[in-house]
Amino acid sequence: MTNFKIWFVLIAIVELALPNEVLAQQVSVGGLSDVSFGSVSYTASDLTNNQNVCVYASNLLAPSYQIYVLGSGNASELTLSSGSKKIPYEVQWSSAPSQTSGTNMDPNDQKSFSISIAKNCLLPSFKQSTLTIIIRASSINSADGGTYSGTLTLIVQPN
């Protein structure tokens, strides 16, 4: 049996814009939770986890945001590890809720998305984006037994 777990680290970047007046634009994310795929044996299907999350701006003058991902592997690779053994995984992001796929997110590659109209994430209905984690069946089936884990960092900033 093989176990898979991903922990999330979120970094929200605050930027200052200085038009005629000082204006702070802050983008935040809410609703993330750790992912555990549990024990896995040979599988014909990819393992997938979809989470609805909320991305919001404290100042709605920021109509879009950039997001990029960093994994805990070498050079921020998206890998789970068990000692020296590694298994790659994929991250996809959609700016719509309840999606089963999205835009592929490569480490350190910024992608832009439209911002939610929410100014906070207090209500479940404010979850306007989908984070998808995929571990391909081919990677699972070629992996040695063990408990694999990793950390995914999401960095979000206003455009």
Please determine, looking at this structure, whether the domain spanning 2-158 carries the CATH number 2.40.50: no
* DSSP character string of 69-105: EE-SSGGG--EEEETTEEEE-EEEEESSSS-S--EEE
| Of 8 and 4, more confident | 4
Range 132-147 average pLDDT? 90
Among all chains, which residue has been given the structure tokens 């592929």? Answer: 104
pLDDT digits (tens, 9 = 90+) for 45-95: 999 999 888 877 666 565 677 888 888 888 889 999 888 999 999 999 998
End-to-end C-alpha distance for the chain, whole angstroms: 44
Torsion from C-alpha of 92, 96, 101, 102, nearest 10 degrees? -40
In the chain, % of residues over pLDDT 90 = 18
| Residue 24 confidence (pLDDT) | 41
Q: Which of 148, 135, 139, 40 is nearest to 85 (CA)?
A: 148
Tokens of 56: 């919001």
Q: Look at residue 22 in the predicted model and tell me its pLDDT.
A: 35
DSSP lists the bridge partners of residue 94 as 130
Whether 36 has a pLDDT exceeding 50, the answer reads yes
Contact 79, 71 (CB under 8 A): yes
**Structure tokens given for 131:** 């984070």
* Across 4-8, 105-109, 143-147, least confident range: 4-8
* Closest C-alpha to 59, from 115, 12, 121: 115
